[in-house]
Amino acid sequence: MLREAILHIPMSQYAHGIDERHLVFRIRSAKGDLTACTLYYADRACRVNPVLFTSQPMRLAASDTLYDYFEVVLEAPYTRVCYYFELSDGQETILYYADQFTQKHADERSEYYQFPFNHRNDIAEVPAWLKEAVVYNIFPDSFATSKEYIAEKAKAAYFNATVTTGQNGGTLRGIADNITYLLNLGINCIYVNPIFAAEEYHKYDLLDYYHIDPCFGTNEDFKVLVDSCHKSGIRVIIDGVFNHCGWHFFAFEDVVQNGENSRYKDWFYRLTYPVVRPDNGEEIPNYDCFAYERKMPKLNTANPEVEQYFCDVGRYWVKEFDIDGWRLDVANEVNFDFWRAFRRAVKAVKPDCVLIGEVWESAQPWLRGDMFDSSMNYDLRKNCRDFFALEQIDADGFDARVTAMRMRYTQNILYGQLNLLDSHDVSRFFTLCGEDKARFKLAVIFQMTFVGIPSVFYGDEKGLAGRLEHEYRRPMYWGTDESGLFQFYQRLIAIRKQHQALIEGGFKTISAEKGSGLYAYERANADETIVILLNASSEHVEIGNFISQGQELLAREGLECNSLSPYGYTIFKR
């Protein structure tokens, strides 16, 4: 037995509650090493000595390149548990607890692994509505000016004495005018990039957190948009930029004008005086910024005044406009205590208001139930890019990465991850596919059928392309869809909504072999099993072992008897 590969971490994704009655336990071992793994659990307050344990076999839940992951969902008759593992590799059987390997039981129950108490408030839960969501991410300047129309003209407006700008003429009314379009696609949630007053067209350099940018409309326009969306069954998430502000935000303006005498000097980081706004982007500012963006001074969110100010902002838009969530920009560069306070402030007004952090890497520290409900799953995009778009890895390598995504988080959090192929910060996935619809479709199928919440960036459903910033943020195409992608998205979203297994079901890999482009998996709940076969290769692949007569085909392309043609797929109900 390869003992050095064994890993269990109490009170983590390896041991967590999913509700008040159910606990999940996981343990990692070397790939192919263990033949059996059993969980033994007992009441940690048991008055009998030795403790009376109950056994529960664990199943092999996932594998990656190096490891196997065993898992069991335990319906415990008590909320406090002590436990250990019995591990067998066919040659020896050992007990594992307290990070020790042994052949004997402990003398005291306190020496075993402990799940001290399954507290309701410690369970990381995702708002129920989010699990049912299909999100449409709108970059407001580029989406629409009115119904199925974008002006494609630069514009400027004044907010107080500062000029704000737009490049393409998108407005909030334009979004509201196209709710029917969103409904027709199957969308039930929109996430809108920043809409508050700011100088640049992207609106990440904020002037004011209480007013809509005049290039986009008014606060009343936003109220109409939210109300119209809600009447149509569409939730609304907006972008919160609290890591940094803009040059002419009142507090930074005061620092520039008054220097060391400014009462707001502690709202910012590492100021040297006099504070000077650099004339060009080549100069290094004498204050901390987001990256080296001179027009985005970094806020000191550890300052109690700053924390209070932005908690008030968070509450305001929830209370006054009834938004359904915040996507939180540069979330990993803001201190933890700020996010905990922000969560308390927002959830006090609307408990099911969702908080989604922009974290490009593992977001574990922020997803323990005290900060965010979800994060943007850029790993899904990266892994789909390497498998479907660039064909740099085989099915085995892709599945190893899928396992990493699945085992990284607690079960509830996994089902709330925001799964994206595109955003306003990256090249269009369609472009990475060489504008090859066949490869693009495979990635979209995976996005729509994997565990978590699919997020469609505006225009993906029309085949918008673009590698550089001005290209991937280009105006929405409102002409006739010649690509057929709109209908493709429409069909996949409908399939997702019609089959609860794709929303709440488990995930199991069926086939992912080395050197192969065939990736097969299933999503299953108690009522149904949905099987997805994707051929991400230029060769025909045999699938006779996976499909048989009488199964309900939900979608297919390139299905030929017992084989899939290059870049073909099939989705069926078993």
Write down the pLDDT at residue 166. Answer: 98
Locate tokens 């892709």: which residue?
Answer: 398
Q: How confident is the model at residue 282 (pLDDT cuts 50, 70, 90)?
A: confident
Q: Quote the pLDDT of residue 54.
A: 96
pLDDT band at 50 (very low <50, low <70, confident <90, very high): confident
- Cα–Cα distance list, 181 to 172, 184, 185 (Å): 15, 5, 6
Does position 550 have pLDDT exceeding 70, yes or no?
Answer: no
Would you state the pLDDT for residue 410? 96
**What's the one-letter identity of residue 62?**
A
pLDDT tens digits, one per residue of 384-431: 999 999 999 999 999 999 999 999 999 999 999 999 999 999 999 999
Nearest CA to 81 out of 48, 114, 123, 39 is that of 114
- Tell me what pLDDT residue 76 has: 83
> Residue 442: its pLDDT value, please?
99
Q: Where do the domains of the chain lie, and which CATH numbers do they carry?
A: 3-122 (2.60.40.10), 134-243+300-500 (3.20.20.80), 244-299 (3.90.400.10), 506-573 (2.60.40.1180)
Band the pLDDT of 47: cuts 50, 70, 90: confident
d(CA 74, CA 299): 44
Per-residue pLDDT averaged across 522-527, rounded?
A: 97
Residue of 303, 302, 283, 305 whose CA lies nearest to 294? 283
First to last CA, the chain: 37
In degrees, rounded to 5, the angle at the alpha carbon of residue 183 between the alpha carbons of residues 182 and 188 is: 85
Rounded alpha-carbon distances, angstroms, from residue 507 to 161, 173, 375, 536: 55, 40, 20, 19
Residue positions annotated with a catalytic role: 329, 358
Question: Which residue, among 394, 444, 387, 386, has the nearest Cα to 420 in the 3D structure?
Answer: 444
Does 446 score more than 70 pLDDT? yes
Task: Answer whether residue 549 shows pLDDT above 70.
Answer: no
How confident is the model over 177-213, as pLDDT tens digits?
999 999 999 999 999 999 999 999 999 999 999 999 9
CA distance 404 to 411: 13
Query: Which H or E element spans position 398?
Result: helix 395-407
pTM of the full structure: 0.96
Q: Is the pLDDT of residue 149 over 70?
A: yes
pLDDT value, residue 462 = 98
Q: What does the pLDDT read at residue 5?
A: 97
pLDDT for res 49:
81
Question: What does the pLDDT look like over 529-543, one tens digit per residue?
Answer: 999 999 999 999 999
Burial class of residue 481, CB neighbours in 10 A (0-12, 13-18, 19+): middle
Please, what is the average pLDDT of the chain? Answer: 96
List pLDDT tens digits, range 150-187. 999 999 999 999 999 999 999 999 999 999 999 999 99
Question: What confidence tens digit (pLDDT) does each residue in 318-372 have?
Answer: 999 999 999 999 999 999 999 999 999 999 999 999 999 999 999 999 999 999 9
For the chain, give the number of residues.
574
Could you say which DSSP state residue 50 is in? S
Nearest-CA neighbor of 82 among 126, 119, 114? 114
pLDDT in tens, 214-252: 999 999 999 999 999 999 999 999 999 999 999 999 999
- Specify the higher pLDDT residue, 384 or 119: 384
Mean pLDDT of 503-523: 97
Per DSSP, what are the bridge partners of residue 74?
A: 23
